[in-house]
Structure 1
């Protein structure tokens, strides 16, 4: 028996004329809310089957395929239909992620033209926005940070963003990560610092994070980032017009001034011979620190690594990378993840290329894990594995088990629907929920990787035997002098 209904969706889909079919499909969508529930379910289920079986069908409108995903939330909310969706779990995650990214892209189009800024800058939405992540499903999408960056180019946007501590902290965490969008986080902070109306609202938090990035040279095509960060932080420090009454901020700005200005001036006058003397001294201090570390005296090791860093010229980049990274390992062992993140970030900032020092990536991944920052930990862990495999390519090295174990846990924690799962678990649980900083159970803490750096082997093609002899003589005299000082 043939269908006689002029509004039958199945008949519409069988229509041979493409123009008529698409016109009727659009009409069905417009009338979706006014039709009875049974017919609505029929339309949605039909769209779902078509979109799953023919996702690239050129005759079926692209947008309408994706609109079918909107039905997922409705169908998944009922026990009777949820099981039907479970078999398409991966596709559901991917499509949900796509919908989020497209929605943000639409808002980007408005924001970039200065439209609806007040509406977009709702404080609750900004908090949610700062945690939105394209993830591994949409690695080419800047997601939430992309829109926040556009907002920071407007006065209203900067004002609203600067008023939310949670948003600023999320941006700061991104700026000290190995995420592809790290530079966007830095851009946001620089825009906020250069605006005198928002500068002092964010300076206390931003200076804590950006202090570790003042030697950052290049991220992708962006160069001299460390210099830009330094100028933004010290914009009114030299003139004494900052009006800052916070001693901690004052200390940070003074450290930046000493490191980037005073120390640079002194080292420009340093001779090559003096530089080599410093290198020998620093390596000696590092060996003493390593000895303390392996003896279990972590506190003394930290002091020695700190002494080495104070004595080490800025030009000795490789030595400083090792000292920072090794001191970070000490901080991990005494359960101080904040200091570990700070040191590993400094180490990664001066590595070439940026964010490439293998052990610092692993140590920072552990530190972020300890703080409950799964996304940042995952990105560092992925970078660690990539760098590890690249570095040991000739040896056909296998990915370490501890890294595989960490990745598995982090992938579960950064799953697109993980927040919804957590809320559901919290609702069904009769016990109190842990705070966000206690997201990871203590018994799931990864084993701390305690391998220190190997001594740096200098590979200078222009070195001569005469230089080597002079280097050894300097080493002997400096070592003897240092021993005499320590004995006294």
Structure 2
């Protein structure tokens, strides 16, 4: 029988094969229809032994069918007990060592499916994982992990090795090769987006892509767009599964020193899960596991990139926000790392002091407060940064002294303060509408000083309004701080829509596309939930989503690097030409800059003001008045 593998579904292949009159006494699909269970088992066992010894065009169909069975029935011990693991080991070795065989028929697909079968049967039951380890699956999987074939086989190999390393009883079979496995997994996690882009996605001519990669990705159905989408998903899986394998070692405090290399820690900050792989915390998940060990905390505390990333994460709408909080709290509770990180951590954690519940955790703000103030009165001298000292004093004044003072206020006094705060806020609103942004900011600050802590709704609005003033005054850091405080006060947390949009804008000003994107997505979700009849996404939010999606694309860095390399080559070749010709170099600079700034600029520069014209302050006020009107209309 001759059937094109790439365009036919496995189930259809089996049906077509078994519906026809088969003349092959060793046909696997006919064996599967054997009514006598004992005879069928013996014939399957024999088939697995003989499979690698004979050439058969049907092998790839059998492997595809076995993979489907393994995926749908991963806990069924029948095939593992009949020698499927030994068979897969032999097939992988043959694919690696016998290139002539690999090029014949459609055997190029076989090592991929063989490794996938191993990974599927080992993902749930430790007994099957033990059987696989005893059958010698680790060495051939390690060969694929080394890149003996391509990134497609590396993806399924790292998946299978991760399953084996996750069980206590089979961990050692992988740990025998610990240093190499860890280094390879680190390298894959760091380089796989660029590797997949250069080898596949960046190849625009479909005819120049490896056909069997395209066939595996889309089963031969779909054009370039679908292939690229699946390649992105698989690249993300390759990265997440590599990190999962590293987690298996890190959680046992193995090879922590290798993973704490500063260059790798910097790379970890850019590895985000949750978008293409919704249950994977990716890089931040491994960072938290590293924070559980003393060596790991030491390495993390020395990485400014990780610390800045954690601070951005805990002031975001990311699903893994609570992991960022966990990491900083672990670092602050360790006496050896506390004073290395408190200068950056305190300035961000103060914004979360009034956060109640998040990710199933309760009283988060109280835990943060106690951690920051645990030795505030006894050992202030160890904190050299004056800003941090002021922050800790503010925390003490707000969470200790002010809370105690307000606890003695009667309901009448609270109501009086509520009315006074409302009047001051109205003054702030009036200044805002007039374009007097600095004056409005001062009024909102005055109202916050007077507003009792228990009036959470009122304080939410005041923080959010003040954040808008900071945005118009081009102070994104202050805007992020105030919007975060407003979102922590909202119920449930991170649900105040105006604050989400304003923080998204602030992060956009700072060029932090991922954080801006997450807040914008949450803002749009809020718009949808508030609409009962017609869902209409604001145009400015849709524009922001488009911009940040492009900037946070998994292959964005690889694309930019590829474009830069191309420009460098052009520049070099033109430079060689210039040495022979007398040309104006400024003409080439115009060409170089095209394509590199689009989608990346976040703040429009102000126009130059000619001498003798309208005063700069008047123009600024007019501009702010216009922006204030626009902001209120959003």
TM-score range, shorter chain: 0.7 to 0.9
- Counterpart of 2:209 (choices 65, 78, 82) is 82
Question: In structure 2, do the counterparts of structure 1 residues 226 and 41 end up closer, same or farther at CA, with 3 Å as the change threshold?
Answer: farther
1:411 aligns with 2:562: no
Confirm or deny: 8 A CA contact 2:551 2:600 kept in the other structure: no
CA distance in 2: counterparts of 1:414 and 1:448, whole angstroms: 29
Contact 1:158 1:192 (8 Å CA) reproduced: yes
Shift of 1:189: 0.1
Looking at structure 2, the residues matched to 185 and 437 of structure 1 have their Cα atoms a distance apart, in angstroms, of 31
Q: CA deviation at 1:13?
A: 2.8
Alpha-carbon deviations, 1:258-306, whole Å to 9, x = none? 1111110100011111111111111111111111111111111111111
Asked whether the 8 Å contact 2:463–2:485 carries over to 1, the reply is yes
Alignment match, 2:90: 27
CA distance in 2, matches of 1:94, 1:168: 28
Q: State how far apart, in whole Å, the 1-side matches of 2:509 and 2:258 are.
A: 36
**1:234 corresponds to 2:378:** no
Q: 1:349 aligns with which of 488, 493, 509?
A: 488
Structure 2 residue 269 is matched with structure 1 residue 222: no
Flag the structure with more relative contact order, 1 or 2, with Cα contacts below 8 A and sequence separation at least 6.
1
Structure 2: runs of 5+ lacking an equivalent = 1-23, 25-51, 67-78, 124-140, 145-150, 158-194, 215-223, 569-588, 606-626
Which of 113, 116, 129 aligns to 2:252? It is 113
Contact persistence 1:12–1:21 (CA under 8 A): no
2:312 aligned residue (154, 160, 173): 173
Alignment of 1:310-459 (within 5 A): 310-390=449-529, 392-394=530-532, 396-430=534-568, 440-442=600-602, 450-452=630-632
SS for the counterpart of 2:484 is helix
Contact kept in structure 1, 2:274 and 2:281, CA below 8 Å: no
Q: What is the match of residue 60 of structure 2?
A: 13
CA distance in 1, matches of 2:404, 2:462: 23
Distance, in Å, in 2 between the alignment partners of 1:259 and 1:111 is 39
Which SS does the other structure have where 2:474 is aligned?
A: coil
Cα distance change, pair 263–67 in 1 and its aligned pair in 2 (3 A): same
* Partner deviation per Cα, 1:19-65 (whole Å, 9 max, x = no partner): 677644432323444344893697685359989xxx99999999999
Separation in structure 1 between the aligned mates of residue 292 and residue 269 of structure 2, nearest angstrom: 16
Unaligned runs of 5+ in 1: 455-488
2:374 is paired with a residue of what secondary structure? coil
What CA deviation, in whole Å up to 9, does each residue of 1:328-352 have, x standing for no partner? 1111112111111000000001111
TM-score, normalisation: structure 2: 0.63
| 1:291 matches 2:430 | yes
1:220 to partner: Cα distance:
2.5
| Residues 344 and 241 of structure 1: CA distance in aligned 2, closer, same or farther (over 3 Å) | closer
Q: CA deviation at 1:396?
A: 3.6
Larger Rg: 2
Contact 1:368–1:376 under 8 Å retained in 2:
yes
Q: Secondary structure at the match of 1:178?
A: coil
TM norm structure 1: 0.81
Give the Cα separation in 2 of the matches to 1:418 and 1:249: 36
Residue 406 (structure 2) aligned to one of 242, 245, 267? 267
Q: Distance in 2 between matches of 1:397 and 1:194?
A: 46
- Aligned Cα RMSD in Å? 3.8
Matched-pair contact (CA < 8 Å) for 1:213–1:346 = yes
How far, CA to CA, are the matches of 2:331 and 2:86 in structure 1? Answer: 48
8 Å contact 1:364–1:380 — kept in the other structure? yes
1:32/1:40 contact within 8 Å kept: no
The answer to whether the Cα contact below 8 Å between 1:133 and 1:143 also exists between their aligned partners in 2 is yes
CA distance in 2, matches of 1:261, 1:213: 16
Answering whether residue 279 of structure 2 is matched by residue 140 of structure 1, we say yes
Corresponding residue SS for 2:209: helix
Task: Count how many residue pairs are aligned between Structure 1 and Structure 2.
Answer: 447
Q: 1:14 to 1:179 in 2, by over 3 A?
A: closer
Q: Deviations over 1:80-101 (max 9, x none)?
A: 6238654511111111111211
C-alpha contact 1:326 1:453 (8 A) present in aligned 2? no
SS where residue 159 of structure 1 aligns? helix
